[in-house]
Amino acid sequence: MRILVTGGAGFIGSAVVRHLINHTEHHIINLDLLTYAGNLESLEGVSDSERYCFEQADICDLTSLQSIFARHQPDRIMHLAAESHVDRSIEGPGQFIQTNVIGTFNLLQASLAHYTGLNETEKADFRFHHISTDEVYGDLHGLDDLFTEETPYSPSSPYSASKASSDHLVRAWQRTYGLPCLITNCSNNYGPYHFPEKLIPHVILNALAGKQLPVYGDGMQIRDWLFVEDHARALCTVLFSGEVGETYNIGGHNEKTNIEVVRSICALLEEYAPLKPEGVANYSDLITFVKDRPGHDVRYAIDASKIERELGWTPEESFETGLRKTVIWYLENKNWWQRVLNGDYRLQRIGASHEL
């Protein structure tokens, strides 16, 4: 098949592209605008494949999308392109509305026009897979509650509100126009190639530099952590085996408070990077509690029993094994994150694409 992956140079998108190239025979069209979080260097291991093609384009540009659909005739869509950082959405919500809502609308329109022109066999094979977040559900206050696929939406931030809006659009295009859609809502991802603004890589790199490790509020906010390569497997499982019109929650079964995560990182760095920056006796001494984020959700936790029961997916990594792999990866791949921190990755050359 020809699979169009939007946001394929981002953190989760690049993991999906790597998985598809390394573990399937499908042809991949990676569509990415290469905003600050897009990094083609995350795809160096697969970008030479004859089954890989890159298209630099904006999902908010319907004309560009129509051209790409006409040129590549994709059989399936995996829509990951999104603005995703909560703090950035609080500071500048407009870009989140533009990309996550208007961009998804344009992609749905381009997909529907393409789908309408397919023959019946091609229509039966076509899928639009929309990748979303558990943040659309708001937060959980009880310690035993879990987000299920039936949990009402109650987004708290401009980011989660924009993702909730895009989820509703996808369901409307499924019901009104018959576009065969799938939706997945995932918990917090972590792992290799994670952009340094996010909690885990931010803590790792700050600690290695001897900088403060900022923790919002009291650090007792709880998140369900999902190793990104487990997520990539789950997304491909849903794309190929999921039932049209269904939603699947994807979680790692790893609930941790933010302060637990930070302290676990410090402990691993004590083990793997014992030579500390000058003036630092223990990495944990760098932990600094800062003013809490506005509207900060208290707890997220996913009930992933549906995807396990119906599609047979379960995570392979525990939080302990996944975090250890992540810390080691950042220690062994300084060139990748140093080029992100100094901005050199923005000078990346696209180079010639293979025509699929």
| Active site amino acids | 134-135, 159
DSSP assignment, residue 292?
Answer: P
CA distances from 354 to 51, 52, 348 (A): 8, 7, 17
262 CA to centre of own chain? 21
Instruction: Report the C-alpha gap between 181 and 178 in whole angstroms.
Output: 9
- Amino acid in the structure at residue 179: L
Instruction: Report the C-alpha gap between 197 and 201 in whole angstroms.
Output: 7
Instruction: Report the C-alpha gap between 309 and 306 in whole angstroms.
Output: 5
- H or E segment at 132? strand 127-133
292 CA to centre of own chain? 24
Torsion of CA 195, 11, 19, 82, to 10 degrees: -170
Q: Which of 127, 100, 96, 122 is nearest to 111 (CA)?
A: 127
Joined tokens for residue 155: 């987004």
Cα angle 155-235-11, degrees, rounded to a multiple of 5: 70
DSSP assignment, residue 327?
Answer: H
